[in-house]
């Protein structure tokens, strides 16, 4: 029976999963889902910390591997049609794209690729490179996700008719690690998402001179010393990485200020790290006796 | 003649199966310092009782030699006990609940802590391998970043033969360590 690996990206990051799939040369689909809170808490390995239990909801992304190589990726919310991929890669112009979408809407990617190559619209290399670029963009995007539940379905391949392009995972992992460093750096700059934000004394002038994107404006609309950054992220449906990037940008531009939260309580117990016990090495006959006894239990 | 006692420590995250492991092999009823988890809490649905100080099992080898098995408390607030339990151990077993990825990080942290306490041999037991949603042992190795030279063994803590296999592998590692 095909096996499943289940978990959440909070416990194992995408980069770690790719590392596992690469080393174990796995074949199958890694699916990432929207997290649906069950209303219960789960207890972490320290037996004390709790966090809300989330179970997989709607599928948000899928990446597929064959013998440890990345071969396919799709985001549910993104148009993954081959024509769209080629248009985005500037291999099809607007008119070609429109016509193809109208006339070949139901064609599979493989059928469409053959059609386009035969019509000399694109070459096979164009198609492979565009799909590779599309796949990598999705995977790099997934590397910034931090909370979603995942299931790895051993043996499951992409839907019929999709084109697969094998990509070695090593470089993808290196790139992902670099992005994680960026995340770490942001986490250092903004260590505590329980901080609130406020506007400085005269924000109006600064806000007039700067051009904010839609996402930044959404965040700005929630800025209030009563709202923590975490609450704003929740209200805007953003991941920690996304909110950190935006808040970091706003802070650097001098558009907002952090409002310091109350001091966290100091840790009551500090483990003794420097006292190591003296150990008397056991004698070999003792170990042999133990082995014989346990074998016969 | 005086009796020699030796000990091994069974450690791992909360609810990873340490108490069950010792119960399966101990010749005495495990001297368990378990306490009922407050009813009506989520903890109670996972584990009705939890080890608050340590578990203690025994295997008599002969008239002169006794092996004690000590299980560490899983909850971090009792981690001051760990170093005391680690003193003089022959080796240790790190239990990992293969069905709970949310505990993998803690398992790795506990492993590193015990390694820092004493340079004794150890093995990792991938417990609950009888469950459908268990991560395979070799996938756990990669996820936990456990070196290839460390034994990572599939385990079912309630199965005496599996527990014996884990303890024997630890003892073989101790012998190998003596030979080097």
pLDDT confidence of residue A20: 93
> Residue A209's CB: how many other CB atoms inside 10 A?
7
> Residue A77's CB: how many other CB atoms inside 10 A?
9
Rounded to the nearest angstrom, the minimum Cα separation between B56 and chain A is 17
Taking one residue from A and the other from B, the number of pairs with CB-CB distance under 8 angstroms is 144
Distance of CA A1 to the CA centre of its chain: 28
φ/ψ region of A288 (left if φ > 0, alpha if ψ in -120 to 50, else beta) reads alpha
Q: What is the pLDDT along chain A (297 residues), one digit of tens a residue?
A: 668 999 999 999 888 899 899 999 999 999 999 999 999 999 888 888 889 999 999 999 999 999 999 999 999 988 888 999 999 889 999 899 999 988 888 889 999 999 999 989 999 999 999 999 999 989 988 888 888 999 999 999 998 899 999 999 988 888 777 777 777 778 777 778 888 888 776 655 555 556 677 778 888 888 888 888 988 887 876 767 778 888 888 887 777 888 765 443 333 332 333 333 334 456 888 899 999 999 998
| Same domain, yes or no: A140 and A169 | yes
Set of chain B residues whose Cβ sits within 8 Å of the Cβ of A288: 175
CATH number for the domain that contains residue B172: 3.40.50.300
Residue A157 lies in a domain: yes
| Same domain, yes or no: A15 and A146 | yes
pLDDT confidence of residue B81: 74
Residue A179 lies in a domain: yes
Nearest to A287 among B77, B133, B175 (CB): B175
Q: What is the pLDDT along chain B (180 residues), one digit of tens a residue?
A: 567 889 999 999 999 999 999 999 998 877 665 556 555 555 555 565 665 556 788 899 988 888 999 998 877 767 777 887 888 899 999 999 999 999 999 999 899 889 888 889 999 999 999 999 999 999 999 999 898 899 999 999 999 999 999 999 999 999 998 887
Q: Which residue of B lies nearest to A13 if distances are taken between CA atoms?
A: B143
| Same domain, yes or no: A156 and A209 | no
> Residue B38's CB: how many other CB atoms inside 10 A?
8
Q: Please tell me if residue A25 touches chain B, with a CB cutoff of 8 Å.
A: no
Instruction: For residue A244, give its domain range.
Output: 196-259
Q: Please tell me if residue B28 touches chain A, with a CB cutoff of 8 Å.
A: no
Give pLDDT tens digits for A177-202: 777 777 777 877 777 888 888 877 66
| Same domain, yes or no: A17 and A134 | yes
CA-nearest of A219, A65, A229, A30 to A142 is: A30
| Same domain, yes or no: A20 and A126 | yes
Q: Last residue of a domain, which of A129, A150, A185? A: A185
φ/ψ region of A173 (left if φ > 0, alpha if ψ in -120 to 50, else beta) reads alpha
Q: Please tell me if residue B49 touches chain A, with a CB cutoff of 8 Å.
A: no
| Same domain, yes or no: A89 and A217 | no
Q: Last residue of a domain, which of A185, A207, A241? A: A185
Structure token digits, residue A272:
């003794």
Structure token digits, residue A7:
């978990």
Nearest to B174 among A20, A47, A282 (CB): A282
CA-nearest of A67, A81, A83, A63 to A14 is: A63
Distance CA A103, CA A111 (A): 13
| Same domain, yes or no: A38 and A169 | yes
Query: Are B50 and B124 contacting, i.e. CB atoms less than 8 angstroms apart?
Result: no
Instruction: For residue B82, give its domain range.
Output: 4-179
Q: Which residue of A lies nearest to B17 if distances are taken between CA atoms?
A: A45
| Same domain, yes or no: A158 and A206 | no
Task: Name residues 8-27 of chain B within 8 A of A (Cβ).
Answer: 13-16, 25
Interface test with B, best of A7, A43, A68, A285 (most B CBs within 10 A): A43
Rounded to the nearest angstrom, the minimum Cα separation between A42 and chain B is 8
Residue A290 lies in a domain: no
Query: Are A20 and A28 contacting, i.e. CB atoms less than 8 angstroms apart?
Result: no
pLDDT confidence of residue B108: 92
**Tokens 């033969």 appear where?**
B161
Q: Please tell me if residue B135 touches chain A, with a CB cutoff of 8 Å.
A: yes
Distance CA B111, CA B11 (A): 8
pLDDT confidence of residue A273: 32
Distance CA B127, CA B145 (A): 17
Nearest to B139 among A20, A273, A289 (CB): A20
Structure token digits, residue B74:
């899983």
Q: Last residue of a domain, which of A185, A212, A241? A: A185
| Same domain, yes or no: A26 and A163 | yes
pLDDT confidence of residue B73: 81
- Please tell me the total count of domains within chain A: 2
Whether ipTM > 0.90 holds is: no
Set of chain B residues whose Cβ sits within 8 Å of the Cβ of A8: 101-102
Distance of CA A274 to the CA centre of its chain: 38
| Same domain, yes or no: A144 and A234 | no
Rounded to the nearest angstrom, the minimum Cα separation between B178 and chain A is 7
| Same domain, yes or no: A41 and A105 | yes
Residue A24 lies in a domain: yes
Structure token digits, residue A90:
């500037």
Contact A44 B107 (CB under 8 A): no
Set of chain A residues whose Cβ sits within 8 Å of the Cβ of B106: 44-46
Distance CA A223, CA A232 (A): 8
Query: Are B118 and A277 contacting, i.e. CB atoms less than 8 angstroms apart?
Result: yes
Distance of CA A62 to the CA centre of its chain: 11
pLDDT confidence of residue A279: 40
Residue A273 lies in a domain: no
Distance CA A224, CA A203 (A): 13
Query: Are B59 and A58 contacting, i.e. CB atoms less than 8 angstroms apart?
Result: no
Contact B61 A293 (CB under 8 A): yes
Contact A16 B167 (CB under 8 A): no
CA-nearest of B84, B59, B76, B78 to B3 is: B59
- Please tell me the total count of domains within chain B: 1
Contact B13 A277 (CB under 8 A): no
DSSP string covering A10-55: TTS-HHHHHHHHHHTT--EEEEEEEEEEEEEEEE-TTSS-EEEEEE
Query: Are B10 and B72 contacting, i.e. CB atoms less than 8 angstroms apart?
Result: yes
| Same domain, yes or no: A169 and A249 | no
């Amino acid at each position: 029976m095909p096996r499943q690996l289940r978990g959440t990206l909070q416990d194992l990051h995408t980069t770690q999963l790719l590392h596992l799939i690469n080393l174990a040369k796995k074949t199958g689909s890694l699916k990432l889902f929207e997290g649906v809170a069950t209303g219960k808490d789960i207890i972490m390995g320290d037996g004390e910390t709790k966090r809300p239990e989330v179970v997989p909801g709607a599928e948000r992304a899928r990446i597929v591997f064959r013998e440890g190589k990345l071969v396919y990726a799709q985001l549910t919310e993104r148009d993954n049609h081959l024509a769209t991929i080629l248009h985005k890669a500037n291999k099809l112009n607007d008119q070609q794209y429109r016509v193809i979408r109208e006339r070949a809407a139901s064609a599979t990617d493989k059928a469409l690729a053959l059609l386009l190559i035969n019509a000399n619209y694109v070459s096979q290399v164009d198609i492979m490179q565009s799909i590779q670029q599309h796949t990598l963009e999705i995977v790099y995007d997934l590397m910034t996700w931090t909370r979603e539940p995942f299931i790895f379905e051993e043996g499951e391949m992409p839907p019929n008719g999709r084109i697969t392009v094998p990509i070695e995972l090593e470089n993808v992992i290196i790139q992902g690690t670099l992005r994680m460093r960026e995340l770490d750096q942001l986490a250092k700059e903004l260590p505590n998402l329980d901080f609130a934000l406020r506007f400085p004394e005269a924000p109006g002038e600064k806000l007039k001179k700067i051009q904010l994107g839609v996402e930044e404006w959404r965040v700005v609309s929630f800025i209030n010393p009563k709202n923590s950054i975490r609450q704003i992220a929740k209200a805007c449906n953003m991941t920690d990485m996304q909110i950190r990037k935006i808040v970091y940008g706003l802070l650097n531009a001098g558009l907002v200020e952090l409002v310091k939260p109350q001091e966290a309580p100091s840790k009551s117990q500090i483990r003794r790290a420097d006292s190591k016990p003296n150990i008397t090495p056991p004698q070999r006959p003792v170990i042999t006796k133990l082995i014989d006894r346990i074998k016969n239990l | 003649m005086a009796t020699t006692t030796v000990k091994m420590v069974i450690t791992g995250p909360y609810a990873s199966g340490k108490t069950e492991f010792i119960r399966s092999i101990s010749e005495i009823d495990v001297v368990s310092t378990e306490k009922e988890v407050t009813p009506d809490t989520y903890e109670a649905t996972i584990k009705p009782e939890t080890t608050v100080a340590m578990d203690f099992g025994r295997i008599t080898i002969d008239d002169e030699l006794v092996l004690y098995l000590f299980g560490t408390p899983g909850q971090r607030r009792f981690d001051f006990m760990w170093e005391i339990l680690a003193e003089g151990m022959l080796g240790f077993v790190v239990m990992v609940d293969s069905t709970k990825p949310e505990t993998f990080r803690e398992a790795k942290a506990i492993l590193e802590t015990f390694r820092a306490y004493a340079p004794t041999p150890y093995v990792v037991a991938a417990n609950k391998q009888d469950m459908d949603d268990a991560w395979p042992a070799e996938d756990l190795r990669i996820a936990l970043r456990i070196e290839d030279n460390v034994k990572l063994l599939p385990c079912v803590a309630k199965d005496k033969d599996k527990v014996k296999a884990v303890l024997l592998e630890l003892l073989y590692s101790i012998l190998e360590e003596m030979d080097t």
